[in-house]
Structure formats: structure tokens, C-alpha cells
């Protein structure tokens, strides 16, 4: 037995209403249960993606992500970094964005998920963050989640060092001193050690 167009439309409307009711119930539950960072972060997603929320409140999403991020919830730290990076609910601040991306990556490493940390630093390094370029260099130098590639590590240290990243300047000096990833050059090693000391 077939259905008429009106019957099909009515069935679709019923399903949509059921889904809306489920979503509303979830929003109400999350509103009343803010005791765990994962719930706080999840509630923030409703504002972030404008799901069944009457007002598009960027400040509210930022506050929720910040609260969960401060509780060391790594995925919330990523979303908080996105807010800083794009200026959602707060003033755009690339330095704060990197800080929270870095915290999230460090938490992933603590949880032994180095692959995610590597990919995160790789993405940030491509965007020009010198701290991420330095961190990514360490991955290549030590062979964490990737084959050891001291030449690539040297290149990343050099890029970050030239931007004034102190740790990268020190590592670049070490690379020149020992000939890791480049030809040994003690004069350049001394130069970069001095730069690192000046910025210390």
C-alpha cells in the first residue's frame, strides 16, 4: 500500500518534531548538569553550531569552552583555541590560540596519543606559529610518530629560531655544534647559543 504525498510529509514532520523534542530535552539536561567538563564542553557546542538555541551567543560558547578548558579537558581546549583564533566570543588573539592548542596537544601526549599531538603541531606550524615549528622539530629529531629526520628538524628549528623562538635558537646551536641535520659549523653554533642567551 503506497503513501500519498501529504501522508509522507506528515510522517517527516512527526520525525522532525520528535528530534526537536529530544534535542530540547538534551539542552535542558545539559543546562542543569554542569558538574563535568565534558558536559560543559558539549553544551558549548550547541551555541557554537547554533543548535536549538534561541540566541546565537558567541560569548556564551566562549565562556563554556573556557570553563571546560580550565578543567583540563583537551577537546574543549581545542575549541577555545578556535574561538581565540577566529575571534568568536572574544577578541581575536593568535598567541592565546596557540597557547590553548599547545595545552591540548600536551594533554594528548600525556594520554599517550602522540599522533594527534603531532598532527596538531604540524597544522599550527604550517600556519606560521614559531612555537609549533619548534615543537614539531622535536618530533622529527626524536622520531616521535614519524621516522627520525634530523634534516627536517634542523629546518624547523631554523625557521622558528629566525623568528626569535628561544628554545629553537638553542636547539639550532646544538645542531650546528654536532652537525645534526646540517654541516658542523662551530661559528654558527656560538652565534645561535648567544642569541638564545640574549633572549633567555
Please determine, for residue 119, whether its predicted confidence score (pLDDT) is greater than 90: no
Domain end point (choices 47, 67, 98): 98
* Mean per-residue pLDDT, 160-181: 94
Domain for residue 108, yes or no? no
Q: What is the pLDDT of residues 56-114, one digit of tens each?
A: 677 888 999 999 999 999 889 989 998 998 888 999 898 898 889 888 888 865 555 67
* 142 shares a domain with 91: no
* 93 shares a domain with 121: no
* 174 shares a domain with 136: yes
**Of the ranges 38-42, 157-161, 166-170, which one carries the lowest mean pLDDT score?**
38-42
Residue 39: the pLDDT is: 86
Q: What's the CA gap between 178 and 39, in Å, rounded?
A: 50
* 86 shares a domain with 20: yes
53 vs 185, residue with greater confidence: 185
Quick one: DSSP state of residue 33?
A: -
Domain for residue 39, yes or no? yes
Residue whose cell numbers read 609549533: 132
* 179 shares a domain with 134: yes
Domain for residue 180, yes or no? yes
Domain for residue 106, yes or no? no
* 126 shares a domain with 71: no
Domain end point (choices 64, 98, 132): 98
Residue 144: the pLDDT is: 81
pTM: 0.57
C-alpha cell at 148: 627520525
C-beta of residue 38 within 8 angstroms of C-beta of residue 69: no
Residue 111: the pLDDT is: 52
Residue 179: the pLDDT is: 94
Domain for residue 10, yes or no? no
Which residue range forms the structural domain that includes residue 63? 16-98
Burial 147-162 (b: 16+ CB within 10 A, else e): eebbebbbbbbbbbbe
C-alpha cell at 54: 534561541
Mean pLDDT (the chain, rounded)? 83
Domain for residue 2, yes or no? no
Residue 22: the pLDDT is: 63
Domain for residue 11, yes or no? no
Q: What share of the chain in percent tops pLDDT 90?
A: 38
For the chain, the DSSP string reads ----HHHHHHHHHHHHHHHHHHHHHHHHHHHH--SSHHHHHHHHHHHHTT-S-SS--HHHHHHHHHHHHHTT-HHHHHHHHHHHHHTSSS---HHHHHHHHHHHHHHHHHTT-HHHHHHHHHHHHHTT-HHHHHHHHHHHHHTSSS---HHHHHHHHHHHHHTT-HHHHHHHHHHHHHTSSS---HHHHHHHHHHHHHH-
Q: How many domains does the chain have?
A: 2
* 199 shares a domain with 133: yes
Domain end point (choices 98, 125, 160): 98
- Which CATH number characterizes residue 72's domain? 1.25.40.10
Q: What's the CA gap between 176 and 151, in Å, rounded?
A: 11
Q: What is the pLDDT of residues 18-51, one digit of tens each?
A: 665 666 666 667 767 777 888 888 888 888 877 7
Report the sign of the C-alpha dihedral through residues 59, 60, 62, 63, in that order.
positive
Quick one: DSSP state of residue 87?
A: T
* 121 shares a domain with 39: no
Please determine, for residue 187, whether its predicted confidence score (pLDDT) is greater than 80: yes
* 83 shares a domain with 40: yes
* 61 shares a domain with 117: no
Residue 100: the pLDDT is: 92
C-beta of residue 180 within 8 angstroms of C-beta of residue 150: yes
- Report CA 148 to chain centroid distance, whole Å: 24
Amino acid at each position: 500500500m503506497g503513501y500519498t504525498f501529504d501522508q509522507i510529509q506528515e510522517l517527516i514532520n512527526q520525525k522532525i518534531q520528535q528530534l526537536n523534542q529530544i534535542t530540547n530535552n538534551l539542552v535542558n539536561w545539559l543546562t542543569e548538569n554542569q558538574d563535568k567538563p565534558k558536559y560543559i564542553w558539549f553544551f558549548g557546542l550547541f551555541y557554537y553550531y547554533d543548535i536549538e538555541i534561541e540566541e546565537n551567543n558567541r560569548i556564551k560558547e566562549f565562556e563554556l569552552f573556557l570553563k571546560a578548558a580550565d578543567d583540563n579537558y583537551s577537546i574543549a581546549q581545542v575549541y577555545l583555541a578556535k574561538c581565540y583564533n577566529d575571534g568568536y566570543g572574544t577578541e581575536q588573539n593568535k598567541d592565546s590560540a596557540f597557547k590553548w592548542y599547545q595545552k591540548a596537544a600536551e594533554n594528548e601526549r600525556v594520554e599517550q596519543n602522540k599522533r594527534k599531538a603531532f598532527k596538531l603541531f604540524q597544522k599550527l606550524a604550517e600556519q606560521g606559529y614559531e612555537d609549533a615549528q619548534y615543537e614539531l622539530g622535536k618530533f622529527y629529531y626524536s622520531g616521535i610518530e614519524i621516522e627520525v629526520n634530523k634534516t627536517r628538524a634542523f629546518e624547523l628549528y631554523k625557521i622558528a629560531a629566525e623568528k626569535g623562538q628561544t628554545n629553537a635558537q638553542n636547539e639550532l646551536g646544538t645542531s650546528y655544534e654536532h652537525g645534526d641535520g646540517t654541516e658542523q659549523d662551530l661559528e654558527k653554533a656560538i652565534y645561535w647559543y648567544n642569541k638564545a642567551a640574549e633572549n633567555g
